[in-house]
Chains A and B, each alone.
Chain A
Amino acid sequence: MTTTSTSTSTLNVSTGARFSKIMGIGGYRPRRVVDNAEIITYIDSSDEWIRTRSGITERRWASDDETVSMMSQAAARKAMERAGVEPGQIDTVIVATVTHLHQTPAIATTIASELGATNAAAFDVSAACAGFCYGVAMADSFIRSGISKHVLVVGVERLSDLTDKHDRSTAFIFADGAGAAVVGPSDVPAIGPVVWGSDGDQADLIMQSESWNTAMDPDAHEDGQAHWPRLAMNGNPVFKWASYTMAKTAAEAMDAAGVKPEDLDVFAPHQANNRITDAMFKALKLPSDVVVARDIINHGNTSAASIPLALETLLESGQAHSGQTCLIIGFGAGLVYAGQVILLP
Protein backbone atom coordinates (compact mmCIF):
# COMPACT_ATOMS: atom_id res chain seq x y z
CA MET A 1 0.00 0.00 0.00
CA THR A 2 1.29 3.47 -0.90
CA THR A 3 0.83 6.21 1.62
CA THR A 4 1.00 9.99 1.48
CA SER A 5 0.89 12.61 4.18
CA THR A 6 -0.51 16.09 3.90
CA SER A 7 0.48 19.27 5.65
CA THR A 8 -2.88 19.52 7.40
CA SER A 9 -2.87 16.08 8.96
CA THR A 10 -0.55 13.82 10.85
CA LEU A 11 -2.29 10.75 9.46
CA ASN A 12 -1.11 8.86 6.41
CA VAL A 13 -3.90 7.81 4.07
CA SER A 14 -3.89 5.17 1.39
CA THR A 15 -3.73 6.02 -2.29
CA GLY A 16 -4.35 3.40 -4.87
CA ALA A 17 -4.16 2.65 -8.54
CA ARG A 18 -6.04 5.01 -10.83
CA PHE A 19 -8.00 2.16 -12.41
CA SER A 20 -8.71 -1.50 -11.82
CA LYS A 21 -9.52 -4.43 -14.07
CA ILE A 22 -10.52 -8.07 -14.03
CA MET A 23 -7.23 -9.77 -14.87
CA GLY A 24 -8.42 -13.36 -15.13
CA ILE A 25 -11.51 -15.50 -14.68
CA GLY A 26 -11.86 -19.19 -13.81
CA GLY A 27 -14.65 -21.60 -13.03
CA TYR A 28 -15.38 -24.98 -11.50
CA ARG A 29 -18.36 -27.07 -12.57
CA PRO A 30 -19.31 -30.12 -10.51
CA ARG A 31 -18.82 -33.50 -12.20
CA ARG A 32 -22.36 -34.80 -11.90
CA VAL A 33 -24.63 -33.77 -14.78
CA VAL A 34 -28.31 -33.81 -13.86
CA ASP A 35 -30.53 -33.74 -16.93
CA ASN A 36 -34.23 -32.94 -17.13
CA ALA A 37 -35.04 -36.65 -17.39
CA GLU A 38 -33.68 -37.07 -13.85
CA ILE A 39 -35.43 -33.93 -12.59
CA ILE A 40 -38.84 -35.18 -13.70
CA THR A 41 -38.39 -38.25 -11.54
CA TYR A 42 -38.58 -35.79 -8.58
CA ILE A 43 -41.27 -33.37 -9.80
CA ASP A 44 -44.42 -33.62 -11.87
CA SER A 45 -43.12 -31.89 -14.99
CA SER A 46 -41.63 -32.58 -18.41
CA ASP A 47 -38.44 -31.85 -20.30
CA GLU A 48 -40.44 -29.62 -22.64
CA TRP A 49 -42.03 -27.67 -19.77
CA ILE A 50 -38.66 -27.08 -18.09
CA ARG A 51 -37.01 -26.01 -21.35
CA THR A 52 -39.78 -23.62 -22.37
CA ARG A 53 -40.07 -22.06 -18.88
CA SER A 54 -36.36 -21.69 -18.16
CA GLY A 55 -34.20 -22.74 -21.11
CA ILE A 56 -32.48 -25.30 -18.90
CA THR A 57 -31.59 -28.69 -20.41
CA GLU A 58 -29.16 -29.84 -17.73
CA ARG A 59 -27.39 -28.62 -14.63
CA ARG A 60 -24.58 -29.76 -12.31
CA TRP A 61 -25.07 -30.87 -8.72
CA ALA A 62 -22.02 -31.16 -6.48
CA SER A 63 -20.95 -34.44 -4.92
CA ASP A 64 -19.87 -34.69 -1.28
CA ASP A 65 -16.21 -33.94 -2.02
CA GLU A 66 -17.06 -30.90 -4.14
CA THR A 67 -17.41 -28.60 -1.18
CA VAL A 68 -17.81 -24.83 -1.27
CA SER A 69 -14.12 -24.54 -0.41
CA MET A 70 -12.91 -27.16 -2.90
CA MET A 71 -14.89 -25.67 -5.82
CA SER A 72 -13.78 -22.14 -4.91
CA GLN A 73 -10.13 -23.10 -4.81
CA ALA A 74 -10.32 -24.87 -8.17
CA ALA A 75 -11.95 -21.82 -9.78
CA ALA A 76 -9.52 -19.44 -8.07
CA ARG A 77 -6.44 -21.36 -9.24
CA LYS A 78 -7.60 -21.08 -12.85
CA ALA A 79 -8.36 -17.37 -12.43
CA MET A 80 -4.93 -16.68 -10.86
CA GLU A 81 -3.12 -18.62 -13.55
CA ARG A 82 -4.94 -16.76 -16.32
CA ALA A 83 -4.29 -13.45 -14.55
CA GLY A 84 -0.60 -14.26 -14.14
CA VAL A 85 -0.91 -13.54 -10.43
CA GLU A 86 0.71 -15.71 -7.74
CA PRO A 87 -1.26 -16.66 -4.61
CA GLY A 88 1.17 -14.62 -2.52
CA GLN A 89 0.18 -11.48 -4.43
CA ILE A 90 -3.49 -11.83 -3.43
CA ASP A 91 -4.01 -9.55 -0.44
CA THR A 92 -7.81 -9.71 -0.26
CA VAL A 93 -10.25 -12.59 -0.69
CA ILE A 94 -13.97 -11.93 -1.05
CA VAL A 95 -16.24 -14.97 -1.23
CA ALA A 96 -19.84 -14.39 -2.27
CA THR A 97 -22.07 -17.28 -1.23
CA VAL A 98 -25.31 -18.12 0.55
CA THR A 99 -24.63 -21.83 0.81
CA HIS A 100 -21.59 -22.06 3.07
CA LEU A 101 -23.50 -23.73 5.87
CA HIS A 102 -21.22 -22.76 8.74
CA GLN A 103 -22.42 -19.53 10.28
CA THR A 104 -18.84 -18.83 11.31
CA PRO A 105 -16.01 -18.65 10.42
CA ALA A 106 -16.27 -17.31 6.90
CA ILE A 107 -15.10 -19.79 4.27
CA ALA A 108 -12.96 -17.03 2.71
CA THR A 109 -10.27 -17.44 5.36
CA THR A 110 -9.86 -21.17 4.67
CA ILE A 111 -9.82 -20.56 0.93
CA ALA A 112 -7.18 -17.80 1.28
CA SER A 113 -5.04 -19.96 3.48
CA GLU A 114 -5.25 -23.11 1.37
CA LEU A 115 -4.54 -21.18 -1.82
CA GLY A 116 -1.42 -19.67 -0.26
CA ALA A 117 -2.78 -16.14 -0.05
CA THR A 118 -1.26 -16.00 3.39
CA ASN A 119 -2.61 -13.28 5.67
CA ALA A 120 -4.94 -11.88 3.03
CA ALA A 121 -7.93 -9.97 4.32
CA ALA A 122 -10.75 -12.45 3.85
CA PHE A 123 -14.50 -12.38 4.33
CA ASP A 124 -17.77 -13.70 2.95
CA VAL A 125 -20.49 -11.63 1.33
CA SER A 126 -24.17 -12.58 1.55
CA ALA A 127 -25.68 -10.93 -1.51
CA ALA A 128 -27.17 -14.00 -3.17
CA CYS A 129 -27.20 -13.85 -6.96
CA ALA A 130 -25.77 -10.31 -6.89
CA GLY A 131 -22.80 -11.47 -4.80
CA PHE A 132 -20.25 -11.59 -7.60
CA CYS A 133 -21.09 -8.06 -8.80
CA TYR A 134 -21.02 -6.80 -5.20
CA GLY A 135 -17.57 -8.39 -4.88
CA VAL A 136 -16.27 -6.85 -8.11
CA ALA A 137 -17.57 -3.44 -6.98
CA MET A 138 -15.73 -3.74 -3.67
CA ALA A 139 -12.57 -5.05 -5.32
CA ASP A 140 -12.56 -2.09 -7.73
CA SER A 141 -13.02 0.32 -4.86
CA PHE A 142 -10.41 -1.34 -2.63
CA ILE A 143 -7.80 -1.21 -5.40
CA ARG A 144 -8.45 2.39 -6.34
CA SER A 145 -8.42 3.47 -2.71
CA GLY A 146 -5.16 1.61 -2.17
CA ILE A 147 -6.17 -0.78 0.62
CA SER A 148 -5.76 -3.77 -1.72
CA LYS A 149 -3.63 -4.53 -4.73
CA HIS A 150 -4.91 -7.88 -5.97
CA VAL A 151 -8.35 -9.05 -4.92
CA LEU A 152 -9.71 -12.54 -5.45
CA VAL A 153 -13.49 -12.46 -5.87
CA VAL A 154 -15.21 -15.84 -5.72
CA GLY A 155 -18.87 -16.61 -6.35
CA VAL A 156 -19.70 -20.12 -5.16
CA GLU A 157 -22.85 -22.08 -4.39
CA ARG A 158 -24.08 -25.53 -3.52
CA LEU A 159 -27.72 -24.56 -3.98
CA SER A 160 -28.61 -28.25 -4.20
CA ASP A 161 -28.01 -28.40 -0.42
CA LEU A 162 -30.92 -26.01 0.14
CA THR A 163 -33.14 -27.08 -2.74
CA ASP A 164 -36.19 -29.23 -2.10
CA LYS A 165 -35.86 -31.49 -5.11
CA HIS A 166 -39.59 -32.19 -4.96
CA ASP A 167 -40.48 -28.49 -5.16
CA ARG A 168 -41.89 -27.99 -8.64
CA SER A 169 -41.04 -24.26 -8.64
CA THR A 170 -37.33 -24.55 -7.87
CA ALA A 171 -36.02 -28.11 -8.30
CA PHE A 172 -35.21 -27.67 -12.00
CA ILE A 173 -33.59 -24.24 -11.63
CA PHE A 174 -30.99 -24.32 -8.88
CA ALA A 175 -27.52 -25.75 -9.38
CA ASP A 176 -23.97 -25.76 -8.07
CA GLY A 177 -20.58 -24.38 -9.10
CA ALA A 178 -17.90 -21.78 -8.50
CA GLY A 179 -16.51 -18.88 -10.48
CA ALA A 180 -13.62 -16.61 -9.58
CA ALA A 181 -12.00 -13.42 -10.80
CA VAL A 182 -8.70 -11.76 -9.94
CA VAL A 183 -9.07 -7.98 -9.85
CA GLY A 184 -5.94 -5.84 -9.95
CA PRO A 185 -4.55 -2.45 -10.97
CA SER A 186 -5.00 -1.22 -14.53
CA ASP A 187 -3.59 1.50 -16.79
CA VAL A 188 -6.98 2.09 -18.38
CA PRO A 189 -10.56 2.15 -17.03
CA ALA A 190 -11.89 -1.42 -17.10
CA ILE A 191 -14.55 -1.61 -14.37
CA GLY A 192 -17.36 0.92 -14.68
CA PRO A 193 -19.26 2.43 -11.74
CA VAL A 194 -21.50 -0.06 -9.99
CA VAL A 195 -25.23 0.63 -9.85
CA TRP A 196 -26.41 -1.32 -6.84
CA GLY A 197 -29.04 -1.46 -4.18
CA SER A 198 -31.61 -3.51 -2.35
CA ASP A 199 -35.36 -3.80 -1.84
CA GLY A 200 -36.06 -5.41 1.53
CA ASP A 201 -39.82 -4.89 1.08
CA GLN A 202 -39.67 -7.85 -1.25
CA ALA A 203 -37.43 -10.01 0.94
CA ASP A 204 -40.06 -12.76 1.01
CA LEU A 205 -39.97 -13.38 -2.75
CA ILE A 206 -36.86 -15.57 -2.54
CA MET A 207 -35.83 -16.85 0.85
CA GLN A 208 -34.81 -19.74 3.05
CA SER A 209 -38.14 -21.20 4.12
CA GLU A 210 -37.40 -20.89 7.84
CA SER A 211 -34.53 -19.84 10.09
CA TRP A 212 -32.03 -22.50 11.20
CA ASN A 213 -33.22 -22.43 14.81
CA THR A 214 -36.85 -22.95 13.76
CA ALA A 215 -35.86 -25.61 11.25
CA MET A 216 -33.92 -27.57 13.85
CA ASP A 217 -36.62 -27.26 16.54
CA PRO A 218 -38.85 -30.39 16.54
CA ASP A 219 -41.50 -28.53 18.56
CA ALA A 220 -41.85 -25.94 15.80
CA HIS A 221 -43.34 -28.48 13.41
CA GLU A 222 -46.62 -30.38 13.46
CA ASP A 223 -44.92 -33.73 12.89
CA GLY A 224 -42.54 -33.18 15.83
CA GLN A 225 -39.49 -33.49 13.59
CA ALA A 226 -36.64 -31.16 12.75
CA HIS A 227 -36.79 -30.08 9.08
CA TRP A 228 -33.98 -29.13 6.77
CA PRO A 229 -34.86 -25.66 5.41
CA ARG A 230 -35.24 -25.05 1.70
CA LEU A 231 -34.97 -22.16 -0.71
CA ALA A 232 -38.41 -20.95 -1.68
CA MET A 233 -39.17 -18.62 -4.57
CA ASN A 234 -42.30 -16.87 -5.79
CA GLY A 235 -41.51 -17.17 -9.48
CA ASN A 236 -43.84 -14.78 -11.28
CA PRO A 237 -43.18 -11.61 -9.24
CA VAL A 238 -39.45 -12.41 -9.34
CA PHE A 239 -39.68 -12.78 -13.12
CA LYS A 240 -41.39 -9.41 -13.42
CA TRP A 241 -38.94 -7.62 -11.14
CA ALA A 242 -35.90 -9.20 -12.78
CA SER A 243 -37.10 -8.64 -16.34
CA TYR A 244 -38.17 -5.01 -16.05
CA THR A 245 -36.84 -3.32 -12.91
CA MET A 246 -33.44 -4.93 -13.47
CA ALA A 247 -33.42 -3.89 -17.12
CA LYS A 248 -33.66 -0.30 -15.86
CA THR A 249 -30.77 -0.91 -13.44
CA ALA A 250 -28.73 -2.41 -16.28
CA ALA A 251 -29.44 0.65 -18.43
CA GLU A 252 -28.29 2.88 -15.55
CA ALA A 253 -25.06 0.88 -15.29
CA MET A 254 -24.41 1.47 -19.00
CA ASP A 255 -25.19 5.17 -18.59
CA ALA A 256 -22.88 5.42 -15.58
CA ALA A 257 -20.06 3.88 -17.60
CA GLY A 258 -20.82 6.07 -20.62
CA VAL A 259 -21.47 3.04 -22.80
CA LYS A 260 -24.32 3.11 -25.31
CA PRO A 261 -26.17 -0.06 -26.38
CA GLU A 262 -24.42 0.10 -29.78
CA ASP A 263 -21.02 0.19 -28.03
CA LEU A 264 -21.70 -2.94 -26.01
CA ASP A 265 -20.12 -6.22 -27.13
CA VAL A 266 -21.34 -8.72 -24.54
CA PHE A 267 -24.33 -9.01 -22.17
CA ALA A 268 -23.78 -11.42 -19.28
CA PRO A 269 -26.62 -11.12 -16.77
CA HIS A 270 -27.00 -13.45 -13.80
CA GLN A 271 -28.14 -16.75 -15.26
CA ALA A 272 -31.47 -16.86 -13.45
CA ASN A 273 -33.75 -17.97 -16.26
CA ASN A 274 -33.27 -17.75 -20.03
CA ARG A 275 -36.67 -16.05 -20.30
CA ILE A 276 -35.48 -13.29 -17.94
CA THR A 277 -32.39 -12.82 -20.12
CA ASP A 278 -34.63 -12.57 -23.20
CA ALA A 279 -36.95 -10.04 -21.54
CA MET A 280 -34.03 -7.91 -20.31
CA PHE A 281 -32.37 -8.00 -23.71
CA LYS A 282 -35.60 -6.77 -25.30
CA ALA A 283 -36.25 -4.11 -22.66
CA LEU A 284 -32.67 -2.81 -22.99
CA LYS A 285 -33.08 -2.62 -26.80
CA LEU A 286 -29.64 -4.11 -27.28
CA PRO A 287 -28.46 -4.54 -30.88
CA SER A 288 -28.86 -8.09 -32.21
CA ASP A 289 -25.10 -8.54 -32.63
CA VAL A 290 -24.45 -8.23 -28.89
CA VAL A 291 -23.23 -11.61 -27.61
CA VAL A 292 -25.54 -12.88 -24.86
CA ALA A 293 -24.55 -15.33 -22.11
CA ARG A 294 -26.74 -18.44 -22.18
CA ASP A 295 -24.81 -20.57 -19.71
CA ILE A 296 -28.03 -21.42 -17.90
CA ILE A 297 -28.98 -23.87 -20.67
CA ASN A 298 -26.28 -26.33 -19.60
CA HIS A 299 -25.57 -25.25 -16.06
CA GLY A 300 -28.78 -24.00 -14.46
CA ASN A 301 -28.92 -21.13 -11.99
CA THR A 302 -25.80 -21.15 -9.82
CA SER A 303 -26.54 -17.85 -8.03
CA ALA A 304 -23.31 -16.01 -7.15
CA ALA A 305 -21.28 -18.29 -9.44
CA SER A 306 -23.35 -17.80 -12.57
CA ILE A 307 -21.77 -14.64 -14.00
CA PRO A 308 -18.10 -15.67 -13.75
CA LEU A 309 -19.02 -19.15 -15.03
CA ALA A 310 -20.88 -17.61 -17.96
CA LEU A 311 -17.95 -15.30 -18.71
CA GLU A 312 -15.55 -18.23 -18.67
CA THR A 313 -17.77 -20.12 -21.13
CA LEU A 314 -17.96 -17.11 -23.49
CA LEU A 315 -14.19 -16.53 -23.38
CA GLU A 316 -13.22 -20.20 -23.70
CA SER A 317 -15.61 -20.81 -26.60
CA GLY A 318 -14.34 -17.76 -28.48
CA GLN A 319 -17.78 -16.13 -28.49
CA ALA A 320 -16.29 -13.22 -26.52
CA HIS A 321 -12.78 -11.79 -26.46
CA SER A 322 -10.37 -9.97 -24.20
CA GLY A 323 -10.88 -6.20 -24.20
CA GLN A 324 -14.55 -6.30 -25.19
CA THR A 325 -17.10 -4.26 -23.24
CA CYS A 326 -19.42 -6.45 -21.22
CA LEU A 327 -22.46 -5.58 -19.12
CA ILE A 328 -22.81 -7.77 -16.04
CA ILE A 329 -25.74 -7.57 -13.64
CA GLY A 330 -26.59 -9.74 -10.66
CA PHE A 331 -29.97 -9.76 -8.92
CA GLY A 332 -31.65 -12.03 -6.42
CA ALA A 333 -32.69 -12.82 -2.88
CA GLY A 334 -32.81 -9.78 -0.64
CA LEU A 335 -33.84 -8.42 -2.97
CA VAL A 336 -30.38 -7.21 -3.97
CA TYR A 337 -28.89 -6.10 -7.25
CA ALA A 338 -25.66 -4.76 -8.74
CA GLY A 339 -24.57 -4.11 -12.29
CA GLN A 340 -21.54 -2.67 -14.01
CA VAL A 341 -19.83 -2.54 -17.38
CA ILE A 342 -16.44 -4.23 -17.47
CA LEU A 343 -13.74 -4.88 -20.03
CA LEU A 344 -13.26 -8.62 -20.42
CA PRO A 345 -9.87 -10.01 -19.40
Chain B
Amino acid sequence: MPTTEEVRTDLAEIVNEVAGVPANDVQLDKSFTDDLDVDSLSMVEIIYAAEEKFGVSIPDDEAKNLKTVGDAVAYIERAAS
Protein backbone atom coordinates (compact mmCIF):
# COMPACT_ATOMS: atom_id res chain seq x y z
CA MET B 1 0.00 0.00 0.00
CA PRO B 2 1.37 3.43 -0.92
CA THR B 3 1.48 5.98 1.87
CA THR B 4 -0.77 9.04 1.90
CA GLU B 5 2.25 11.14 0.97
CA GLU B 6 3.04 8.86 -1.99
CA VAL B 7 -0.53 9.12 -3.28
CA ARG B 8 -0.45 12.90 -2.83
CA THR B 9 2.85 13.14 -4.72
CA ASP B 10 1.57 11.07 -7.64
CA LEU B 11 -1.68 13.02 -7.73
CA ALA B 12 0.27 16.30 -7.62
CA GLU B 13 2.18 15.19 -10.72
CA ILE B 14 -1.11 14.53 -12.51
CA VAL B 15 -2.53 17.92 -11.48
CA ASN B 16 0.67 19.56 -12.70
CA GLU B 17 0.54 17.70 -16.01
CA VAL B 18 -3.15 18.44 -16.67
CA ALA B 19 -3.59 21.94 -15.27
CA GLY B 20 -0.06 23.33 -15.03
CA VAL B 21 -0.33 23.84 -11.26
CA PRO B 22 3.09 23.62 -9.54
CA ALA B 23 3.22 20.18 -7.89
CA ASN B 24 4.33 21.68 -4.57
CA ASP B 25 1.09 23.65 -4.37
CA VAL B 26 -0.98 20.47 -4.47
CA GLN B 27 -1.29 19.96 -0.70
CA LEU B 28 -3.99 18.04 1.16
CA ASP B 29 -5.83 21.11 2.43
CA LYS B 30 -6.08 22.78 -0.98
CA SER B 31 -9.38 23.07 -2.83
CA PHE B 32 -9.05 22.14 -6.51
CA THR B 33 -11.38 24.90 -7.61
CA ASP B 34 -10.79 27.72 -5.13
CA ASP B 35 -7.07 27.34 -4.35
CA LEU B 36 -5.61 25.63 -7.41
CA ASP B 37 -7.90 27.19 -10.05
CA VAL B 38 -8.65 23.81 -11.65
CA ASP B 39 -11.74 24.05 -13.88
CA SER B 40 -14.38 21.35 -14.22
CA LEU B 41 -13.02 19.89 -17.46
CA SER B 42 -9.49 19.71 -16.07
CA MET B 43 -11.00 17.98 -13.04
CA VAL B 44 -12.46 15.34 -15.40
CA GLU B 45 -9.00 14.85 -16.90
CA ILE B 46 -7.40 14.60 -13.47
CA ILE B 47 -9.96 12.03 -12.33
CA TYR B 48 -9.42 9.96 -15.47
CA ALA B 49 -5.62 10.08 -15.12
CA ALA B 50 -5.93 9.15 -11.43
CA GLU B 51 -8.16 6.18 -12.30
CA GLU B 52 -5.51 4.96 -14.73
CA LYS B 53 -2.56 5.66 -12.43
CA PHE B 54 -4.00 4.12 -9.26
CA GLY B 55 -6.14 1.41 -10.88
CA VAL B 56 -9.31 2.63 -9.18
CA SER B 57 -12.78 3.61 -10.38
CA ILE B 58 -14.08 7.06 -9.46
CA PRO B 59 -17.72 7.35 -10.62
CA ASP B 60 -19.01 10.81 -11.61
CA ASP B 61 -21.27 10.95 -8.54
CA GLU B 62 -18.26 10.44 -6.27
CA ALA B 63 -15.98 12.71 -8.27
CA LYS B 64 -18.35 15.60 -7.59
CA ASN B 65 -17.63 15.35 -3.86
CA LEU B 66 -13.85 15.50 -4.16
CA LYS B 67 -13.44 19.17 -3.32
CA THR B 68 -9.94 19.13 -1.85
CA VAL B 69 -6.72 17.28 -2.65
CA GLY B 70 -7.18 15.53 0.70
CA ASP B 71 -10.67 14.32 -0.34
CA ALA B 72 -9.21 12.84 -3.52
CA VAL B 73 -6.25 11.22 -1.77
CA ALA B 74 -8.54 9.69 0.87
CA TYR B 75 -10.92 8.37 -1.78
CA ILE B 76 -8.06 6.83 -3.77
CA GLU B 77 -6.62 5.21 -0.63
CA ARG B 78 -10.03 3.71 0.26
CA ALA B 79 -10.72 2.57 -3.31
CA ALA B 80 -7.28 1.00 -3.69
CA SER B 81 -7.38 -0.90 -0.39
Given contacts A240-B47, A243-B45, 13 further A-B contacts (CB under 8 A): A53-B39, A53-B40, A53-B41, A235-B41, A236-B44, A237-B60, A239-B41, A239-B44, A240-B48, A240-B60, A244-B48, A275-B41, A279-B45
Residue of B nearest to A52 (CB): B39
- Are the C-beta atoms of B60 and A243 separated by less than 8 Å? no
In the assembled complex, the Cα of A291 lies from the Cα of B71 at a distance in Å of: 39
Number of A-B contacts (CB under 8 A): 25
Total chain B interface residues with beta-carbon distance under 8 A:
9
In the assembled complex, the Cα of A240 lies from the Cα of B60 at a distance in Å of: 10
Listed in ascending order, the chain A residues whose CB lies under 8 Å from chain B are 52-53, 235-237, 239-240, 243-244, 273, 275, 279
> How many whole Å from B37's CB to the nearest CB in chain A?
11
In the assembled complex, the Cα of A69 lies from the Cα of B47 at a distance in Å of: 43
Residues in B neighbouring A243, C-beta threshold 8 A: 44-45, 48
> How many whole Å from B17's CB to the nearest CB in chain A?
10
In the assembled complex, the Cα of A203 lies from the Cα of B24 at a distance in Å of: 41
- Are the C-beta atoms of A236 and B40 separated by less than 8 Å? yes
> How many whole Å from A338's CB to the nearest CB in chain B?
23
- Are the C-beta atoms of A240 and B39 separated by less than 8 Å? no
In the assembled complex, the Cα of A343 lies from the Cα of B43 at a distance in Å of: 36
Instruction: Show 25 residue pairs from A and B whose CB-CB distance is below 8 angstroms, ordered by the A residue.
Output: A52-B39, A53-B39, A53-B40, A53-B41, A235-B40, A235-B41, A236-B40, A236-B41, A236-B43, A236-B44, A236-B60, A237-B60, A239-B41, A239-B44, A240-B44, A240-B47, A240-B48, A240-B60, A243-B44, A243-B45, A243-B48, A244-B48, A273-B41, A275-B41, A279-B45
Contact bitstring B28-66, A, C-beta under 8 A = 1, else 0: 000000000001110111011000000000001000000
Most buried by B among A236, A273, A279: A236
In the assembled complex, the Cα of A263 lies from the Cα of B47 at a distance in Å of: 31
Residues in B neighbouring A244, C-beta threshold 8 A: 48
> How many whole Å from A35's CB to the nearest CB in chain B?
22
